[in-house]
Amino acid sequence: MSLTFLHSADWQLGKPFARIVDEAKRTRLQQERLDCLHRIAAAVKEQQAAFVVVAGDLFDTASPTKATVSAACGAIGAMGVPVFAIPGNHDHGGPGCVWEQEFFLRESRQLAPNLRLLLAPEPVVTEHAVFFPAPLLRRHEAGDPAAWIRGALDGGGFPAELPRIVIAHGSVQGFSSAADDEEGPGAAANRIELDRLPLAELDYLALGDWHGMKQVGPKAWYAGTPEPDRFPKGESNAPGHLLKVTVTRGGAPVVEPLPSARVGWHHLAFSFADDSGLDRLAEQLDAQIGTRTGADLLHLELDGFLGIAASARLEQVLESWDARLLRLKLNPRVRVTPSDEEMAALVERPDDPLIARVARQLVQEAAGDSEEAAVARIALRELHAACEGKS
């Protein structure tokens, strides 16, 4: 008989999003991660899932705020089916962890009696399946946290008809959250050696840590985070999903991705060949984001050349997008190159030789990527605007 459940991971509730300056926008993103749990609850009902598996990192830290704990427990309770979860590297277990604190225990009992935390590396037999959890009891495990499973099936004794599901949090085959982070790649930790597990005796491996959805073996999947929390890095990263998993004992799992994200994280690299590029940039931004406000983040990389007036218009465009977006991460490498008309208007001024001389000096200083060049480009725009105002 087949069994359907939902696989999720890396909720990281309470993530601070410290790189976002605006406090209201930070709060908006944090709330969206909590709201995503209600979409999981809706998917449980729609897909008629028997339970939910969360492969680590429910919280972003081992010491979440009480408000975050209460909100999480309330949302989990609303799912209405058993939720089996393990600690990950962000909310790892061990002495003094959140999972042992009196406040969490009280809130989970009252608000989320369906939450089943698997805090020990030992088989757990339920009415639906046999779970083989590999919880992280510290942030970085020196060895393979799933190593114990290799010998766990030797003695048998498990119900023959129940599917066998591994729940683990860590890196495999070079994939880890460290390599996916905005701050840059780090050393892979908590390495799970899939090829050393008794895969023939297991039916599904529910993995967490890599924030994109990805299949890494015939029976092994990363669910990714259901609500993205970083800018995309290539096609192999596909966050913003739940996995609907259908398993039978001894059969191949059937996995169906279910979109779950509401916030958009975008990346756009654009090069200006001339001033008309401003219109093409606007078209591409409209295609990605449109008129949405307060629901997207954008990593925008700009280079190329613009005239003085076009450069000033670009500043206005960026000002608007910075206000509309939850975050505008900008890498500007656009050089101000006066058009022939703009150059003539500045340096060919027989009635105002001082302005002409200053303009020629600024044009020379504006070349390059130094801080002085950036200041010169700003001064050149201001000078052009002042001269236009006189005419």
Domain shared by 255 and 271, yes or no? no
List the domain range (segments joined by +) for residue 360.
Answer: 267-390
At 60-82, the pLDDT tens digits run: 999 999 999 999 999 999 999 99
Domain shared by 294 and 179, yes or no? no
- Residue 295: what are its φ and ψ, rounded to 5°? -140, 10
Structural domains in the chain (count): 2
**Strand, coil or helix: what is 28?**
helix
Last residue of a domain, one of 199, 226, 259: 259
Domain shared by 129 and 172, yes or no? yes
Q: Which residues fall within 8 angstroms of residue 161, CB to CB, at 6 or more apart?
A: 1, 249
pTM above 0.75, yes or no: yes
Average pLDDT over residues 13-22: 95
More confident of the two residues 152 and 86: 86
C-alpha span between 115 and 102 (Å, rounded): 16
Question: Which DSSP string corresponds to 270-296?
Answer: EEESSTTHHHHHHHHHHHHTTT--SSE
Domain shared by 133 and 182, yes or no? yes
Tokens of 308: 């003085």
C-alpha span between 152 and 155 (Å, rounded): 7
C-alpha span between 41 and 209 (Å, rounded): 22
Q: Can you list the pairs that 282-288 forms with residues at least 24 positions away whose Cβ atoms lie under 8 Å?
A: 282/317, 285/321, 288/264
Q: Residue 245: beta bridge partners?
A: 5, 255
Domain shared by 375 and 228, yes or no? no
Q: 59 to each of 69, 73, 238, how far by Cα in Å?
A: 8, 11, 21
Domain shared by 35 and 121, yes or no? yes
**Strand, coil or helix: what is 379?**
helix
**For residue 187, what pLDDT band results from cuts at 50, 70 and 90?**
very low
Tokens of 153: 């099936």
Q: Packing angle between helix 23-47 and helix 66-77, nearest 10 degrees?
A: 20
Domain shared by 251 and 295, yes or no? no
The pLDDT value given to residue 174: 57
Average pLDDT over residues 22-43: 97
Domain shared by 118 and 242, yes or no? yes
At 329-383, the pLDDT tens digits run: 999 998 887 776 777 767 777 777 887 788 788 777 777 778 888 788 778 777 7
**For residue 385, what pLDDT band results from cuts at 50, 70 and 90?**
confident
Q: Which residues fall within 8 angstroms of residue 2, CB to CB, at 6 or more apart?
A: 246, 247, 248
The pLDDT value given to residue 191: 92
Indicate the average pLDDT of the chain. Answer: 90
Nearest to 9 by CA among 120, 134, 123, 155: 134
The pLDDT value given to residue 245: 98
Last residue of a domain, one of 206, 229, 259: 259
- Residue 288: what are its φ and ψ, rounded to 5°? -85, -40
Domain shared by 69 and 157, yes or no? yes
C-alpha span between 48 and 62 (Å, rounded): 32
**For residue 34, what pLDDT band results from cuts at 50, 70 and 90?**
very high
Average pLDDT over residues 153-179: 82
The pLDDT value given to residue 300: 97
Average pLDDT over residues 258-280: 95
The pLDDT value given to residue 186: 45
**Ramachandran class of 191: left when φ > 0, alpha when ψ lies in -120 to 50, beta otherwise:** beta
Domain shared by 248 and 136, yes or no? yes
Range from 90-99, 181-190, 204-213, 266-275 carrying the lowest mean pLDDT: 181-190
Question: Which DSSP string corresponds to 291-334?
Answer: T--SSEEEEEEEEEEE-HHHHHHHHHHHHHHHHHSSEEEEEEEE
Number of helices (H), then strands (E), belonging to the chain: the values are 9, 15
The pLDDT value given to residue 352: 76
Average pLDDT over residues 276-293: 94
Task: Evaluate if residue 59 carries a pLDDT over 90.
Answer: yes
- Read off the CATH number of the domain in which 146 is found: 3.60.21.10
Domain shared by 142 and 96, yes or no? yes
Range from 89-98, 289-298, 336-345, 382-391 carrying the lowest mean pLDDT: 382-391
The pLDDT value given to residue 214: 94
**For residue 184, what pLDDT band results from cuts at 50, 70 and 90?**
very low
Domain shared by 304 and 386, yes or no? yes
**Strand, coil or helix: what is 206?**
strand
The pLDDT value given to residue 388: 66
Last residue of a domain, one of 259, 291, 324: 259
Task: Evaluate if residue 272 carries a pLDDT over 50.
Answer: yes
